[in-house]
Each structure stands twice: as C-alpha cells, then as structure tokens.
C-alpha cells in the first residue's frame, strides 16, 4: 500500500490541473492498482454538463487503458480543492466495478484523512 498521505498529496496536486470553469470544483484523484501502479486524474467539465467527467472516473479509465480490463484498485484517494467530500454516487459505482468491498477510499473530513471501505461507501452496489 502507498498510504493515505502520499495518495492525498498526489490527488491534491492533480486537482490543481482540473478544467472546472462551470462548477469551480477542482477535484483530483489518485489510485494505486493491485499491480502497484499509480494513476492520477482530474475532473474535466463541459458546457454540456452530461459530458463532464469526474476525477475518479477519469483516473480509473486511464488505469484500465494502461493495465487492461483486469485492473484492480488497491486504494484510492480523492480531493476537492477548498472542499471536503467523498466520491459522488456515480463514481462510487464505477469504483466498485474495479475495487473489492474492503478497498480503502480516502478523502478529507475536517482537514483530516478519512478512510471508508468500498462496502461502507456503497453497501448495495449494482452487480451483474
């Protein structure tokens, strides 16, 4: 494991690169895969809001593009500059596709790192 601090630093760094002219929410994500690779991504907004991509999905899709469909998330961190919140519901479902129920998901609450398992964040994820 890489650890919360290192992942949160990576997520914070990439959040500053977000394209967020509409919401002004600059969000960054960093994940470590089971293979030990680090991937980062930020949110990229679009004037047609439905075409916006969240930082978490951007990061996960990049990891899949590099490692292939068997990519598994070992741990993930998300940071919104100036704000504190966990991944949105849609991103939770995408994370669940590539994470196990015990995978730690890191975010900030009251300025401190908080970890919740994927099962805690999305206890009834959709599965086929």
- Under the banding of pLDDT at 50, 70 and 90, the label for residue 126 is confident
Class of the 4-121 domain?
A: alpha beta
- Under the banding of pLDDT at 50, 70 and 90, the label for residue 110 is very high
Average pLDDT over residues 121-127: 89
pTM, whole model, 2 decimals?
A: 0.95
- Under the banding of pLDDT at 50, 70 and 90, the label for residue 1 is low
Contact (CB, 8 A) for 56 and 91 = yes
The whole-angstrom separation of Cα 7 and Cα 107 is: 10
Query: For residue 128, what pLDDT is reported?
Result: 82
Q: Where are the domains of the chain?
A: 4-121
- For residue 100, what are the CA distances in angstroms to 10, 55, 117? 22, 20, 9
Active site (catalytic) residues: 56
- Under the banding of pLDDT at 50, 70 and 90, the label for residue 109 is very high
**Strands 104-109 and 73-80, sheet pairing:** parallel
Q: Which two tokens stand for residue 96?
A: 């669940």
Query: For residue 4, what pLDDT is reported?
Result: 85
């Amino acid at each position: 494991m890489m650890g919360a601090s290192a992942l949160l630093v990576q997520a914070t760094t990439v959040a500053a690169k977000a394209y967020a002219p509409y919401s002004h929410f600059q969000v960054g994500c960093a994940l470590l895969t089971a293979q030990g690779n680090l991937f980062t991504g930020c949110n990229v907004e679009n004037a047609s809001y439905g075409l916006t991509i969240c930082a978490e999905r951007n990061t996960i899709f990049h990891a899949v593009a590099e490692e292939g469909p068997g990519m598994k998330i070992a741990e993930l961190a998300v940071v919104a500059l100036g704000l504190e919140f966990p991944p949105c519901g849609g991103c939770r479902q995408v994370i669940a596709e590539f994470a196990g129920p015990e995978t730690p998901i890191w975010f900030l609450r009251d300025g401190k790192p908080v970890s919740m398992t994927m099962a805690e964040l999305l206890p009834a994820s959709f599965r086929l």
